Amino acid sequence: MFQRIGPAAFKKDLTNTLALCEHLGQPHRQVPCIHIAGTNGKGSTAHMLSAIFTAAGYKTGLYTSPHYRDFRERIKINGELMPKRFVVDFVRKHKDFAEQLKPSFFEWTVGLAFDYFAKQKVDIAIIETGLGGRLDSTNVITPLLSIITNISYDHQNMLGDTLPLIAGEKAGIIKPGVPVVIGETHPESAPVFIEKAKLEGSPIVFSDQHFEAKLLKKTESHAIYDVFLDKKLRYEQLAVNHLGDYQRQNLCTVLQAMELVVPLFAKLNKTKAMQAAILTGLHDLKRLSNFLGRWEFISQSPRVLCDSAHNEDGIKKAMEGLGRVPYEKLHFVFGTVNDKSPDKVLSYLPKDATYYFAKANIPRGFDAQQLSEAAKAQGLLGRAYTSVRRALAAAKRSAKPNDLVFVGGSIFVVAEVI
């Protein structure tokens, strides 16, 4: 199981997924899909799209990974977790076949998701890749639209150690004739996407070349944007139920995707009022999609802010956003995983914080003492704790009323406190 043990559980092959889908009656072919890959932002993009389609009155499936607290967070319809009974019955019914096939945890879960969405007859399913794209288990679908949010360094040991190589893996979700939206124009990855789209005969659009979101203000629960399409105001004072600064780019990707998806969906005789649904879906994002763990305040006394950014680009953007949050002193609960060097990520962390290093409660967790020593070499000072909860408790004891406690570095660290 990659979530717990890392690369040893990763399979670079679609054979098992195809065999499982055939055994299940090809459920992945029975549901219209939107397919999303990318280094960062794909989960946020998926939840935004899910909320919009739910707001429009469609029965909307959402498949994401990993999960925080409950395995069923990965598979939802209209924001509702799939029933425990469906999981149990699925395993019981297909256990003999699985024991012969020996699928990975992720392959098994993808089959479960497709089977659930098909049996529930969802109108559309938003499908997020797990790792990479080309050989990801979800890449057996032919979607209405493909989305690649961005490219940064992550999982280089499996996806390649240059941005063009990583982009090549993500570009594997581009299907013949299927339009693709790219969220970020990067000089090293853009040529890879353009070439792959040309090869597949797929229309390609870079959302950041057309959409621009300007932050106007923030309330306690919403960020308010003016959004421009090709320099003209497209959405005035658009309210998004998420306060992370990095969502501005994801918002543009989502809105560009909707420009393409609405006419494609209309061809399926599904013509509900999508423009109004965009406003409602984004305004009620967390309620409609059950969105967890991204830039989330979990306490106000003291203020505790969680975010699951975990790689170079994600941490960099999170720290830029953190710099715009008012506080007197910063207390930073930090942990990461042990299958990649923490040095790059550590280099983006603020030097003036007090650190509380902790190992996430999974085999992949990076030893807290070793992490503390690596951080000290970069001028980050703090103590190591035996668990995330103890680290957080110590940070909260030390925090004064105007201080801020930030919890991050890994989705698995955040999962233990939300």
* pLDDT tens-place string over residues 186-198: 999 999 999 999 9
Question: What is the overall mean pLDDT for the chain?
Answer: 92
CATH architecture, domain defined by 2-289: 3-Layer(aba) Sandwich (3.40)
DSSP 358: E
Low-confidence ranges of the chain (pLDDT < 50): 1-5, 9, 155, 157-158
Alpha carbon separation from 347 to 262, 351, 379, 416 (Å, rounded): 42, 9, 9, 24
* pLDDT tens-place string over residues 140-179: 999 999 999 998 765 454 455 688 889 999 999 999 999 9
Report the top-level CATH class of 296-415.
Answer: alpha beta
Q: Interior CA angle at 364 toward 47 and 154, to 5°?
A: 55
Cβ contact 364:265 at 8 Å: no
pLDDT of residue 1: 44
Domain ranges of the chain: 2-289, 296-415
Cβ contact 407:413 at 8 Å: yes
* pLDDT tens-place string over residues 361-406: 888 899 999 999 999 999 999 999 999 999 999 999 999 999 999 9
> What does the block give as tokens for 11?
């399979």
* pLDDT tens-place string over residues 246-268: 899 999 999 999 999 988 877 66
DSSP three-state, residue 317 = helix
Cβ contact 278:255 at 8 Å: yes
What are the residues facing 182 on neighbouring strands?
A: 148, 206
Q: What is Dmax (Cα atoms) for the chain? A: 60
Same topology for domains 2-289 and 296-415, yes or no? Answer: no
Residue that has been written with the tokens 């621009």 in this structure: 212
Alpha-carbon span 128 to 163, nearest angstrom:
20
Strands 404-408 and 330-334, how do they pair? parallel
